[in-house]
Amino acid sequence: MSYPHAKASMALYTLPNQFIVEVITMKTFAVLTSGGDAPGMNAAIRSVVRTASFYECRILGIRHGYQGMIDDDVLELTPGSVGDIIQRGGTVLQTARCEAFKTPVGLAKGIATLQKHGIEGLVVIGGDGSFRGAYALAQYGIQVIGIPGTIDNDIPGTDESIGFDTAVNTAVEAIDRIRDTASSHDRTYVVEVMGHRSGAIALSVGMAAGAASILIPEEPQDPDRVLAQLNKARERGKKHPIVIVAEGAACAMDVGEFLRNHIASEVRVTVLGHIQRGGSPSARDRILGGLYGTEAVRLLLEGMTNHMVAMCGARVTAVPFTEVFDRQHEANLFYHRIADILAV
C-alpha cells in the first residue's frame, strides 16, 4: 500500500517524519452536526470528509446528531458524496437536540454504535452544548474534536463560529429593505434579531445597519436610554431611526409599545426570526468551514482530543473543552460604544 498523500501532508504542515508513520495507520473517523443548524456547516462537513480522505482515512457521517448515534444512523462518506454542498445552508447530515444522550443509557448506546463501526475519532460540529456530549464520549476513550457552529457566536474561546457571518449579513440585508420603507414613511422601526444569551448578532447588525440604538442581553435594559438616543437622532434630523433588539434582551413588541407612548412618529416592529438561520452561507462561513474541518482532522491524526478548533486573531488554533466550559461568553461592548457614537 502506498501513501502518496502522506508526503503532501508533510509539505503542507511541515511536520516531522514521525507524523507520516502515525498517518499511515489507517483510521476510521466520523462527523456529526448537533444542536442548532448554522449556514456553513456543510462546508465544514465537506472539509472534514475531504481532509480525512486526503490522509487516507475512512470517514463516516452520523445523521441527526447524537440521536443518530443512539439509533445507529450512520453512512459512509466519500469526497464525491460531499460535492455540491458547499453553497447550501442547513446541514446535509441533519441535526437534533437529544435529551436521551445526556443519560447513561443513551451514552452507552452511542458508544456501542461507534464501536460497531470501528470509529476511533469523532468531529462534532455544533455549540458548547454539543461539546459537552463530545466530552462525555471522551471519558470512554473516544477521541473528540469540536468545530464551533452556531449563528449566535457565543462560544467562549473562539472569535468566530460558523454561521454567524451569514446570519449577520442576512439580517443586514433585511434591514436595508426595511430602511427603504422606513424612510419613505418617516417611521421608526424596532427590529428583533436572534440571540437569547448573546448580543453578538445584534451588535454586528446594529453596527452594519446604522442602528440608532441596540439592546443586548448582556447589559441592563434602560428604556429611557433608548428614548434619549432616538430623540437625539431626531434632533439632528433623522426621521426613520432603527432600533435593534436581541431576542434575549427584551420583547421587541414591548419596546415598540413603549416607544409608541413616548415619541411622535409611527413605530413598527419586525421580528426577523428564522430567516437568519437559513440561506446560502457567506464566503466567510464557507472559508471558516474549510479551515476548521481541515484542522479538526489534523488534530485527530495528531492524537489530540477534547479540544475545539477556534479562531484567535487571524489564526486557527485549538482550545480545550474544559476552557470552553469554564469561561463565560463576553459581549463585544466595544462595538456597542462605537455604534452609540456613530448613531449620534
Q: Which residues bind ligand ADP (CB under 6 A)?
A: 34-36, 66, 97-98, 101-102, 126-130, 132-133, 136, 150
- Known binding residue 47? Answer is yes
CB of 154 to ligand ADP, least distance (A): 9
- Known binding residue 315? Answer is no
* Pairing status of strand 28-33 against strand 307-312: unpaired
Considering beta carbons, is residue 79 or 129 the nearer one to ligand ADP? 129
Place of cell 447588525: 205
Considering beta carbons, is residue 34 or 270 the nearer one to ligand ADP? 34
- Known binding residue 236? Answer is yes
Considering beta carbons, is residue 198 or 294 the nearer one to ligand ADP? 198
CB distance 49 to 81 below 8 Å: yes
CB of 242 to ligand ADP, least distance (A): 29
Closest residue to ligand ADP in the complex (CB): 129
CB of 266 to ligand ADP, least distance (A): 38
- Known binding residue 110? Answer is no
Considering beta carbons, is residue 32 or 259 the nearer one to ligand ADP? 32
* Of 37, 73, 152, 285, catalytic: 152
CB of 7 to ligand ADP, least distance (A): 37
CB distance 194 to 272 below 8 Å: yes
152 is catalytic: yes
Considering beta carbons, is residue 126 or 293 the nearer one to ligand ADP? 126
Please state, in angstroms and rounded to a whole number, the distance separating the CA atoms of residues 310 and 51: 17
CB of 184 to ligand ADP, least distance (A): 39
- Known binding residue 158? Answer is no
- Known binding residue 194? Answer is yes
Which positions make up the binding site? Answer: 36, 46-50, 97-98, 127-130, 150-152, 179, 187, 194-196, 236, 238-240, 247, 268, 274-277
Which positions make up the binding site for ATP? Answer: 36, 97-98, 127-130
Which positions make up the binding site for Mg(2+)? Answer: 128
Active site residues: 152
Which positions make up the binding site for substrate? Answer: 150-152, 187, 194-196, 247, 268, 274-277
